[in-house]
Amino acid sequence: MYNQTILKNGLRVVTQRIPGRSSVSMGICMDVGGRYEDKAVNGAAHFLEHIVFKGSRNYTCGEIKEKIEGVGGSLNAFTTEEVTCYYAKIPVKHFRDAFDILADMVFLPKIPKREVEKERTVIMEEIKMYDDLPQYYVLHLLDRLLWPKHPLGENLAGTSRSILGMSKAELKKFHARHYTSGNAVISACGDVKHDEFVRLARRKLEKIPAGAATDFSPAPQPQGQPRTTFFDKQTEQMHLALGIPALSHHHPDRYIEKMLHIILGGNMSSRLFNEVREKRGLAYSIGTTVKTMRDTGAFIVRAGVDNRKITDAAALILKELNRIRRGGVQPAELNRTKEYFIGQIQLALEDTMDYMLWIGEATLTDDRCKTVEQIVQSIKKVTPADVKRVARDIFRPERFNLAVVGPLTRKQKKNLSALLQAG
């Protein structure tokens, strides 16, 4: 069972002790991401994620890296639509020093102007890099379709205009507003005692202000008709992304949705992999992903397709979605899916880093973390009727969104649009 303590200022500390491990993984998850931004500061959460590594009240930029990496540890961070997380993995004997560094840089960054200016150019290059990669750019186009004129449809890294215009003062204001103890969860996993970790957090961070909870704009309601967008680019391969508004992180059917993902495109045994790649040779890469947030989500199919076969591939993908929506799944296929799902969870949680991120993010978004046994029991209860019901609810043709990047002809665009309209 996980241990959780809430400090006086609202900071949540959650740990999972695994005796005998040689490492401790620790993280600080902040309840802020891209959807908390308006257009003027689009990319601020990601910009701030970069800039805190440049120096803090007690550590220089060089010391932050050297004191972690110099003893064999690793340090990194990521930003999503709703979460920014900073994390480190360190040999057990160094975890106290590592925690002090991690906490100092996250909550007490200097945000020096010269570093803001340097990092601005780095982020601009990052934006260009992802725009140049069609397999990533197509997902950005899809986000715009799924959540038009909403922060969820914007680029997490920002735009050239927002990044060039963002000042040190705006970054400091964004940090002060969102990086409060009440918006944070500190998690750790490995050979670490909960009480000792709580003492470290209390000594270092109990004076951090609790702050007020920040809110975001609700996600727009799913559309009533399908949408398409095409971006002409001279590539050797078409990149396709089909997205459907789906379940939120808190939805009771979210494990069933994950099973739909496994059945359709989660591995090499999946329906789409077998039908589109193995049997027809229409794509090299094809798979599905599920994105979940507090009030919305998306079920996404991605494929890299031969330029001449884009229409055939899209038609087959739609056919498979319709097939599971109408016909559901047989018990044997569902049992294999359950075993794969449970096995993947168990394998992932052998690593202290994955375990730490899991309990940290679950505590941040749900204010609690289910045990593995509770999740396994939820998975085992799913029936073929449940899968069919959720498939019928999600895969509604009027909610389909299709983005394609590549050297599309006028005829291909017309045919793809007609396919989506026909459902």
CA atoms within 13 A on the CB side of 185: 26
265-271, Cβ contacts within 8 angstroms, sequence gap of 24 or more: 265/289, 265/301, 266/340, 267/340, 269/336, 269/340, 271/320, 271/323, 271/324
Catalytic residue, chosen from 49, 81, 119, 257, is: 49
Residue with structure tokens 């909403």?
150
Whether 49 sits among the annotated catalytic residues: the reply is yes
What token pair was written down for 20? Answer: 């005998």
CB 324 within 8 A of CB 264: yes
Which residues, in sequence order, are bridge partners of residue 76? Answer: 87
- Give 119's contacts (C-beta < 8 A, 6+ positions apart): 47, 50, 51, 54
Of 71, 87, 73, the closest CA to residue 29 belongs to 87
Cα 289 to chain centroid, rounded: 10
Distance between CA atoms of residues 339 and 320, nearest Å: 22
Positions marked catalytic: 49
